[in-house]
Amino acid sequence: MLTSGRSGAILLRLMAALPDGGPEAVIRHFAHRRQRRSYTLILTVTLNTAVDKTYTIPAFTLDRVHRPTDWRIVPGGKGINVSRVLRTLGMDTLALGFAGGHNGGYIREGLVAEGMPHELVATREESRVCITVIDPDNGTQTEINENGPTISQSEFWEFDSLLKSHLAGAEALVLSGSIPPGIPDDVYARWITAAREAGVWVLLDSSGIAMSSGMKACPDAAKPNRREFAELIGEDPFTADEIAERAGRFVDNGIGTMLVSMGRAGALGLTRDEGFVSRSPDIDFVSAVGSGDAFVAGFLFARHHGYELGEALRYGTAAGAANAMSYGAGFCSGECIRTLAQQVEVQRITRKESSQ
């Protein structure tokens, strides 16, 4: 970033984005950007991008030196994972976030290598590393996630301006993942409000205070997993009917669609008018890392194509299952998702009045 602050950083990013070839090339460049963003673009936000390292270590135990039999190191973070699967399904997406230091450079280079459109605000502090250890012998998955860099006030406001500049013409906004230090706890609520004012559909997928405060702004859809849903309501509902009854409270309070992913058990989708549960197909399980993000991408793909809630739930469940068969977050194929969608069972459930 330029030492002159936010304005200098923005100018530098704009100059770097301009193509060579004179005024005509610049005009063609921006005309193309307007065309590709015209109400089909899905924006994903990853405030805590990461270098994701996944290691396979059979018979993994503590207090031992291990050498992985396989590994994958890629740019990661929930929003990036969503964008990766959206691209696999042929969707138009732009990944937004922060990246800093050597890790941030690796994240940028990796996204360029994948051909993933992205705009990342530079941070003074180093981006985080997230490590997943998969033990196929014991069927376990151990995750170690760093907290991430502290975002300065100027870095935050630069990103805030960047995000809002892309809302015009976007179809949907996905707010995913944890909030790094330095960013207000209610930031997702703020952006949900801004997106609503711009006419952009919003899905929220987070946890803790970021999720609970964001829910108060009534996004069009919210997707906690079962553990995150239990945190939201302060109890752990056991059956799909119990989850549906409690999810109904959020729908009654203004959230358009509640989606609760339940891992191998499938997922639940609920609106004011209808509800469905899905059952995941039997698969050769590899890793659950990123399956919730793949679910979001599959659901958005179906929504974009006008599918009803039950079918959208089917595609979300299929995408999550396809990801669980793959090594690394978001590296499932569109063909696998479409094949598994035919095997997902979807059942309508009766909405019961929720008790407040």
Band the pLDDT of 168: cuts 50, 70, 90. Answer: very high
Helix (H) or strand (E) holding 267: strand 267-270
CA distance 283 to 280: 9
CB within 8 A of 49, min separation 6: which ones?
Answer: 75, 76, 77, 80, 97, 98, 99, 104, 107, 120, 127, 128
Please give the residue that has the higher pLDDT: either 23 or 63: 63
pLDDT of residue 241: 85
Helices and strands in the chain, H and E counts? 12, 14
Q: Mean of the pLDDT values across residues 167-190?
A: 95
Q: 55: which strand partners? A: 71, 133
Is the model's pLDDT at 1 over the cut of 90?
A: no
Please answer whether residues 52 and 103 qualify as being in contact, where contact means their C-beta atoms are separated by less than 8 angstroms.
no
Please give the residue that has the higher pLDDT: either 295 or 21: 295
CATH topology of domain 39-349: UDP-N-acetylmuramoyl-L-alanine:D-glutamate ligase (3.40.1190)
Please answer whether residues 314 and 338 qualify as being in contact, where contact means their C-beta atoms are separated by less than 8 angstroms.
no
In a 13 Å sphere around the CA of 167, the CA atoms on its Cβ side amount to 20
Question: What is the percent of the chain where pLDDT is above 90?
Answer: 78
Please answer whether residues 323 and 332 qualify as being in contact, where contact means their C-beta atoms are separated by less than 8 angstroms.
yes
The domain spans of the chain are 39-349
Q: Mean of the pLDDT values across residues 129-149?
A: 93
Band the pLDDT of 350: cuts 50, 70, 90. Answer: confident
The tokens describing 254, both together, are 């203004």
Is the model's pLDDT at 25 over the cut of 60?
A: no
Is the model's pLDDT at 137 over the cut of 70?
A: yes
Is the model's pLDDT at 27 over the cut of 60?
A: no
Angle at 192 between CA 186 and CA 197, to 5 degrees: 130
Q: What is the chain's mean pLDDT, rounded?
A: 88
pLDDT of residue 355: 52
Is the model's pLDDT at 34 over the cut of 60?
A: no
pLDDT of residue 10: 39
Collapsed DSSP state (helix, strand, coil) of residue 285: coil
Is the model's pLDDT at 31 over the cut of 50?
A: no
pLDDT of residue 238: 72
Q: 99: which strand partners? A: 122
Band the pLDDT of 353: cuts 50, 70, 90. Answer: low
Max intra-chain CA distance, the chain = 64
Is the model's pLDDT at 169 over the cut of 90?
A: no
CA distance 262 to 259: 10
Q: Please give the full DSSP string across 43-78, using - where no structure is assigned.
A: EEEETT-EEEEEEE-TT--SSS----SEEEEEEE-H
